[in-house]
Amino acid sequence: MIKVNTEDYPWHAGMTVRNLLDEKQFTFRHIIVRVNGEFVPEEDYEKWLIQDGDDVLVLHLMAGG
């Protein structure tokens, strides 16, 4: 189990940041991802492996016009 934006979410072996974003259908382009507080650059989404117990923050940066 991992945390995604403070809520429990099931973890599976080999889960990358990209997998997580796809599973959660987080399609908004303008986001910030942090894993255990560490910023993950967009070019690393495919290769960054999420570990069981990780605390993932996916901040959507939109505040409306």
Q: Which residues bind other proteins (CB under 8 A)?
A: 5-7, 25-30, 32, 39, 57-65
Cα gap 3→29, rounded to integer Å? 21
Cα gap 59→13, rounded to integer Å? 24
Give min distance, CB of 34 to other proteins, in A.
Answer: 8
Nearest CB to other proteins, comparing residues 14 and 27: 27
Nearest CB to other proteins, comparing residues 1 and 61: 61
Q: What share of the chain is helix, strand, coil (3-state, %, to 5)?
A: 15, 30, 50
Nearest CB to other proteins, comparing residues 13 and 63: 63
